[in-house]
Structure 1
Amino acid sequence: MTKKEKMQNLKVFAAKIRLETLKIIASRGFGHVGGSMSMADAMAVLYGDIMNIDPKNPRWEERDWFVLSKGHGGPVMYATLGLRGYYPVENAYTLNQPGTDFPSHTDRNKTVGVDLTTGSLGQGMSEAVGAALGSRAQGRRNRVFVAIGDGEADEGQVWEAAQFAAHYKLDNLICLVDDNKRQLDGTCADVMSHGKGLAAKFDAFGWNV
């Protein structure tokens, strides 16, 4: 497959993720649309190209992990996993209904393919650091990808985890920042400015940016 063909396939995958995300949210009439849709391209690249996964064996020990620290983006996670074959994507149309396997925030004990439970902003970064450290301690080379929101980066816990990861040289941890410029109470610039920018902050903590 040529690079151009791969790019086209990923664009198509991202479009399908967006469509299914909207269907999942529309099925119940509520859900975080913006925070889900802004992750579609990243999810397409991760699950369509980069990550080492096996939908038929979701708990495969050698798999790469993904942590959606901004757990309110559950609909885009459910759409992605469904389209990759973890389950029929239509199952996620039961979003947040009683007895569903698809709660509004991601839960590893309910949804096949979800590696870690998230929801309380800031905590997913620490969970990902723990997963990366544990994987290395066990002699495995799993990569751990974690997605945080730019609004979520207001949380001090994010930076404690970032400092820890750099200090202990967790080179199997990759953090993606969903820099969509928005959070619940307004724009990120109005609510809590990040000064010279998040890239500069991660660089100051010793990350490769």
Structure 2
Amino acid sequence: MTIRVLVADDQAMVRGGLRLILEDQPDIEVVAEAADGVEAVELARRLRPDVCLVDIRMPRLDGLAVTRALHPMRVIVVTTFDLDEYVYGALRGGAVGFLLKDAGPALLVEAVRAAHAGDALVSPSVTVRLLRHLASATTPPPSPAPLRPLSDRELEVVRAVARGRTNREIATELFISLSTVKSHVSGIQTKLGLRNRVEIAAWAWEQRLMA
């Protein structure tokens, strides 16, 4: 199955570079490019791509507003990390992933495939640094208490998700089946009132579970 991607960035050279990297893969096709946020929303709603790769800083409509406008479509927000401390807003707005602008081609491709597969987090090296930075650099509103308490096993899964582990890696680490991991993740989202794995990870860092 071909993954259809929309690329939104205000720099033509960046868009062209991303297209070259993505279309070098046999399972990925860039179906559209957008030069600003308004164009990104219009194209995404018309073409319904599988994944939208969105720069967080764009004219007319920034990546935060684009993410909110396109929810529940799968949006990966691109950040420069040190400057874009408001990525937290993108996560809360429904983004299913994020990527550093200096990430290499392999990580870009991994991010797109992960988003398409429903995995919000890309890799521990990116996820942990970014979420730790957000936890220290922002003062988010208090997270709501869980609708029901999390079990010890669910807390283990939460910590693994926040470290950027995939479902398969969690299954291996905790010696449980893949279907059990998926069941735990679904149950955690329900108990916490969260929409995806990124929000689970953000919640874990807010609650200082990763200290």
TM-score range, shorter chain: 0.3 to 0.5
TM-score by length of 2: 0.32
Q: Which has the higher contact order (CA 8 A, sep 6+)?
A: 1
TM-score by length of 1: 0.32
